[in-house]
Chains A and B, each alone.
Chain A
């Protein structure tokens, strides 16, 4: 019966596009409008720092200038290990000398874009330029 041959061919037909599917994944998404941050732009980032509060509790700090708000949501741009920008939603506590205490959503040592600007676009690959901050409490 010719049907079973068709049936046996079927997995191969399925497998072919799958084999190729893995190839295109890593390309950055295309950017449409010109005013956005272009790929491979240099963006100044700072590391999420750890500080010790008066009571002995450890807290994580980010510059207050780095965050942006969307209604009640608090966001921050993170430059990942693959140099891609992504939005991270965080919850923040109180101010500590121009920095904000991060309560959830970030890890120590992650790089965040130091100053938020509306031009930042999620998914773009950038070149990180690390700005060292003077008051590292390590």
Chain B
């Protein structure tokens, strides 16, 4: 027999001293890599996203849109690599979000954006201020949250403690941004007294100016004297509240008016602008406090490429030390998020899964080949994984849930090559036709080359998944890359290490020298019994094909019958979820806090809830989902977030998704009472989107869009299974427009700007400087404002005065400095606040959003359901609105609607995976043609591919699971595995026929001889997958591999030989 590459390799290494050294070395580098690869929760996804904040003070949303947003959008879309441009035009400013294509270089994108924006700054209308650019990246997501809460301390003291701790933590290496949510900052408040101001003839603007001027110090220069340079400085910064109080703000009569005469200067906490609380839930540790307590949360992000779990451990250790010094006794620090721990948890779970899978596979192999054979297989797996982990490390991957997924996924596949080689060596040893070494090399030669081919078919199957585009791309790509690498390593291990091990471990039983006869084995008898009738009778053959065909059609029919539903990814079992509360615009902070508190009080009673924190007035620490949804902008008075932490998943029975579904009704019942909109937000398993269901409504005018949106929203609400319905249209908020009477203002010597500034200072307050203290870690602002009790109504505002700049006419002479009451100069107009204008890709859009849970879990079915109702909606003009799925509307002349949200990603993923699958088939076909030099044979082998569907789809039905993206991956991978089985089968038939065997005999013998390795390898895949069955995300993959594997293996062993026989029969007769 001639020797292939496999045989040559084996000959080199089977007796080489270097082989064991190589094995040990690989194991060592693998172990090293495992410890050195950074661990984190989310994959490193580079989605360059930049938020531009462009202030345009005083402009209405419509003005902001037409002058700023539109033109900025237009210029930004010119940049190559920009995927989407969104904008929101609000009163006074615009937020433009630019999203680059996934994988674009973040730094380059920023430079391009910057230069494009600068190029067009001259086209901006006057009044537009310089834009603020903020790059948003995955590393902004905090990996560790520490909530400081206390029974005795107030938010002001808590924040001070947290700031001190944050300052210390910043010194830790590889720490990223440290931020503090909630609490009250120190502030020097200049609380104006309206009466005194009038009495002393001082205006608020004057005070602001005087404070600003007093708070200055500069180096004036130097002079020379006696060979020395002497530096001269002038002025002095304000260093304390009494410094501020002692500023002279005016002269009244003959004496100076000090600031403390006209205002009270208070050094202390700022005015309440947030309510952040912490409380324990029903599942709190024993003896926990029962109430809820003011809280401040410190968030720690990590630097790019660093290890989340190591960082978290370092931070926690440091905090433990600080508890002895800078954290007061009354303050408790609770860990409310630790992605480091969850990442470690994931890694441990994976290792457990791997171990279980390897042990299970070993036992099965042991069953067939004896414990020595099992040992050979067992030894080859760690080497393969060690090398794969090394490559992960070298390629700068981190160990996260996606890269780990890749490893779990290949567990069942990487043992196959070793199994095939070991099995064949075992068989040849048992046949005892040749001396031991010769037998081993013959065995390797026999299966070596088909194994190489088979490995490449599996690689060909998974590798095209690299080309999945869009947000899902980075989620997918580590998998084909990891799996392909693991396959290559497993092949090398099978060709180098396995022969070495087998040669030493596998025994040839001495003693009986009986000639090996295949026809006496049990396998042969079995296949002879099964295959012979089909080979002999063409009628029976066709009946068999008919039955298999029917099974296939029946299985596929389950999909349109909705017995098996498609969903992109099922929810993962997480330890947290969020409740997002939106009150109508214009709701007071306290009212929002009240509703949030009431909802929290309900959540507290849920048995699985360990603790909760709520954030009103500030955003909650964001997660990856919040990053994409812009939850970090949720700082308005009408918004509240509740972060709910559940007990760890191994201590509860219910999945987090089921808990979320369960509490939804209770939460929304409370929200409804207060006219609030509450949403339960879970961390999506895949890439986050605005919302699971998004209807984008386009149209000629905002009124028409909103009118249609209202109807669509109603349809959403009426559809069962559609929950958390909301829209991005603000509620009507009352606005008092103070219109300046220009003539009167002119006669009184007052400018419109003075009026605007005075009003702003009185109501919102104005920061007029910073207190220069050395001790304070956060800047202490000096703020001028009216006391809260003096700004409660329009009446209060009318008591504010502005100072005249003097006016001389023929009839009157008004001296500068005269105090003019505002009420004399302005007229009040009551109106409704203009609504924000949203734009996406240069079109005005109104979003209606919702989630799906309960009756349907998959958005696609809900969408199809609602389509019919939406088409029946009446719109002005009398045409029908049919929702679009993939394309943007062609014109804005007519109202139109497009589905977005999870659908968009689902569509992209299944489209790309489908394309990948088609490419896979072609590549596999080409590979086999290359090997067998026949156009027909590959087709026979590929029959096995559709046969896997017979198992996969009913398998999902059996488990009541969704057909997900991971199921699809399983199906694609299975295609490679099944073709490999066929290759092994047919290759042996051809070998036997070349040796002169009769076709029928060769077919049956091949089935008999190859059954064991095929069952072993498929068994390894099936058994290796069982551990994944209970993981919500990987369930689909496991079902595909298990059921698809079992069914198609059985069918392959029968159908492929028969078809081969049928096709070859004619040529054999000739």
- Residues on A facing B (Cβ under 8 Å): 3-4, 7-8, 13-14, 17-18, 21, 25, 29-30, 32, 53, 55, 57, 59, 70-74, 86, 88-94, 101, 103-105, 121-123
Residue of A nearest to B607 (CB): A21
Partner of B793, one of A3, A57, A105: A57
- Min CB–CB distance A53 → chain B (angstroms): 8
Partner of A72, one of B269, B654, B655, B662: B269
- Min CB–CB distance A67 → chain B (angstroms): 13
Q: Give 1 or 0 for each of B70-81: 1 = CB within 8 Å of chain A CB.
A: 000000000000
Residues of A near B482 (CB, < 8 A) are: none
Check B588 against A105 for contact (C-beta < 8 Å). Answer: yes
Residue of A nearest to B587 (CB): A104
Told that A57-B795, A92-B789, A105-B594 touch, could you supply 6 new A-B pairs with CB distance under 8 A? A14-B654, A18-B658, A72-B154, A73-B272, A73-B275, A104-B591
Check A55 against B793 for contact (C-beta < 8 Å). Answer: yes
- Within B774-810, the residues touching A (CB, 8 Å) are 788-790, 792-795
Q: Identify 11 residue pairs between A and B in the complex whose beta-carbon atoms are under 8 Å apart, listed by A's number.
A: A3-B1029, A7-B960, A8-B960, A71-B155, A71-B294, A72-B269, A88-B594, A89-B594, A92-B789, A101-B792, A122-B291
Residue of B nearest to A57 (CB): B793
Partner of B591, one of A25, A70, A74, A105: A105
Check B788 against A103 for contact (C-beta < 8 Å). Answer: yes
Partner of B655, one of A14, A90, A104: A14
Closest 5 CB pairs of A and B: A71-B154, A105-B590, A104-B588, A104-B590, A94-B789
- Min CB–CB distance A100 → chain B (angstroms): 9
- Within B115-141, the residues touching A (CB, 8 Å) are none
- Min CB–CB distance B901 → chain A (angstroms): 27
Partner of A103, one of B588, B605, B653, B655: B588
Check A18 against B654 for contact (C-beta < 8 Å). Answer: yes
- Min CB–CB distance A103 → chain B (angstroms): 6
- Expressed in whole angstroms, the Cα–Cα distance for A22 and B790 within the complex equals 47
Check A14 against B653 for contact (C-beta < 8 Å). Answer: yes
- Min CB–CB distance A21 → chain B (angstroms): 5
Check B1026 against A3 for contact (C-beta < 8 Å). Answer: yes
Check A70 against B959 for contact (C-beta < 8 Å). Answer: no
B157: Cβ under 8 A from any A Cβ: yes
Residues of A near B794 (CB, < 8 A) are: 55
- Expressed in whole angstroms, the Cα–Cα distance for A24 and B184 within the complex equals 37
Check B789 against A93 for contact (C-beta < 8 Å). Answer: yes
- Expressed in whole angstroms, the Cα–Cα distance for A7 and B1038 within the complex equals 13
- Expressed in whole angstroms, the Cα–Cα distance for A7 and B294 within the complex equals 43
Residue of A nearest to B275 (CB): A89
Partner of A17, one of B653, B792, B1029: B653
- Expressed in whole angstroms, the Cα–Cα distance for A81 and B593 within the complex equals 19
Check A72 against B593 for contact (C-beta < 8 Å). Answer: no
Residue of A nearest to B1035 (CB): A7
- Expressed in whole angstroms, the Cα–Cα distance for A57 and B154 within the complex equals 33
- Min CB–CB distance B661 → chain A (angstroms): 10
Residues of A near B662 (CB, < 8 A) are: 18
Residue of A nearest to B290 (CB): A29
Check B155 against A72 for contact (C-beta < 8 Å). Answer: yes
- Expressed in whole angstroms, the Cα–Cα distance for A14 and B269 within the complex equals 48
Partner of A73, one of B155, B658, B795, B960: B155
Q: Give 1 or 0 for each of B640-660: 1 = CB within 8 Å of chain A CB.
A: 000000000000011100100
Given contacts A71-B157, A72-B184, A72-B269, contact A93 B601 (CB under 8 A): no
Residues of A near B291 (CB, < 8 A) are: 121-123
B589: Cβ under 8 A from any A Cβ: yes
B527: Cβ under 8 A from any A Cβ: no
Q: Is the interface of A mostly helix, strand, loop or mixed?
A: mixed
- Min CB–CB distance B196 → chain A (angstroms): 16
Residue of A nearest to B792 (CB): A93
Given contacts A70-B154, A103-B788, A123-B290, contact A7 B959 (CB under 8 A): yes
B392: Cβ under 8 A from any A Cβ: no
Partner of B156, one of A7, A53, A72: A72
Residue of B nearest to A91 (CB): B590
Given contacts A72-B155, A73-B154, A101-B789, contact A91 B588 (CB under 8 A): yes
Residues of A near B184 (CB, < 8 A) are: 71-72
Given contacts A14-B654, A123-B290, contact A21 B154 (CB under 8 A): no
- Min CB–CB distance A58 → chain B (angstroms): 10
Residue of B nearest to A72 (CB): B269
- Expressed in whole angstroms, the Cα–Cα distance for A103 and B790 within the complex equals 12
Residues of B near A71 (CB, < 8 A) are: 153-157, 184, 269, 294
- Expressed in whole angstroms, the Cα–Cα distance for A57 and B795 within the complex equals 9
Check A91 against B269 for contact (C-beta < 8 Å). Answer: no
Given contacts A17-B653, A21-B607, contact A103 B155 (CB under 8 A): no
Check A72 against B272 for contact (C-beta < 8 Å). Answer: yes
- Expressed in whole angstroms, the Cα–Cα distance for A76 and B271 within the complex equals 18
Residues of A near B530 (CB, < 8 A) are: none
- Min CB–CB distance B650 → chain A (angstroms): 14
Residues of A near B154 (CB, < 8 A) are: 70-73
Residue from A30, A74, A123 having most chain B Cβ neighbours under 10 A:
A123
Residues of B near A91 (CB, < 8 A) are: 272, 588-590, 788
Check A70 against B294 for contact (C-beta < 8 Å). Answer: yes
- Expressed in whole angstroms, the Cα–Cα distance for A71 and B789 within the complex equals 18
Given contacts A7-B959, A103-B788, contact A17 B654 (CB under 8 A): yes
Residues of A near B601 (CB, < 8 A) are: 86
Residues of B near A74 (CB, < 8 A) are: 272
Check A13 against B269 for contact (C-beta < 8 Å). Answer: no
Residues of B near A7 (CB, < 8 A) are: 959-960, 1029
Check B156 against A13 for contact (C-beta < 8 Å). Answer: no
B32: Cβ under 8 A from any A Cβ: no
B488: Cβ under 8 A from any A Cβ: no
- Expressed in whole angstroms, the Cα–Cα distance for A57 and B597 within the complex equals 29
Partner of B795, one of A21, A55, A92, A122: A55
Check B606 against A21 for contact (C-beta < 8 Å). Answer: yes
Residues of B near A3 (CB, < 8 A) are: 1026, 1029
B958: Cβ under 8 A from any A Cβ: yes
- Min CB–CB distance A125 → chain B (angstroms): 14
- Expressed in whole angstroms, the Cα–Cα distance for A74 and B594 within the complex equals 13
- Within B593-629, the residues touching A (CB, 8 Å) are 593-594, 597, 601, 605-607
Residues of B near A88 (CB, < 8 A) are: 590, 594, 597
Q: Give 1 or 0 for each of B205-248: 1 = CB within 8 Å of chain A CB.
A: 00000000000000000000000000000000000000000000
- Within B13-59, the residues touching A (CB, 8 Å) are none
Residues of B near A29 (CB, < 8 A) are: 290
- Expressed in whole angstroms, the Cα–Cα distance for A29 and B1029 within the complex equals 40
- Expressed in whole angstroms, the Cα–Cα distance for A70 and B158 within the complex equals 12
Residue of A nearest to B589 (CB): A104
Residues of B near A94 (CB, < 8 A) are: 789-790, 792
Check A17 against B607 for contact (C-beta < 8 Å). Answer: yes
Residue of A nearest to B269 (CB): A72
- Expressed in whole angstroms, the Cα–Cα distance for A100 and B156 within the complex equals 24
Residues of A near B153 (CB, < 8 A) are: 71
- Expressed in whole angstroms, the Cα–Cα distance for A78 and B272 within the complex equals 20
Residues of B near A72 (CB, < 8 A) are: 154-156, 184, 268-272
- Within B1000-1021, the residues touching A (CB, 8 Å) are none
Residue of A nearest to B268 (CB): A72
Residues of B near A89 (CB, < 8 A) are: 272, 275, 590, 593-594, 597
Residues of A near B653 (CB, < 8 A) are: 13-14, 17
Residue of A nearest to B653 (CB): A14
- Expressed in whole angstroms, the Cα–Cα distance for A74 and B272 within the complex equals 9
Check B290 against A4 for contact (C-beta < 8 Å). Answer: no
- Expressed in whole angstroms, the Cα–Cα distance for A70 and B292 within the complex equals 13
Residues of A near B292 (CB, < 8 A) are: 122
- Min CB–CB distance A122 → chain B (angstroms): 5
- Expressed in whole angstroms, the Cα–Cα distance for A57 and B791 within the complex equals 13
- Expressed in whole angstroms, the Cα–Cα distance for A53 and B792 within the complex equals 12
Residues of B near A21 (CB, < 8 A) are: 606-607
Residues of B near A103 (CB, < 8 A) are: 588, 590, 788, 792
- Expressed in whole angstroms, the Cα–Cα distance for A130 and B405 within the complex equals 63
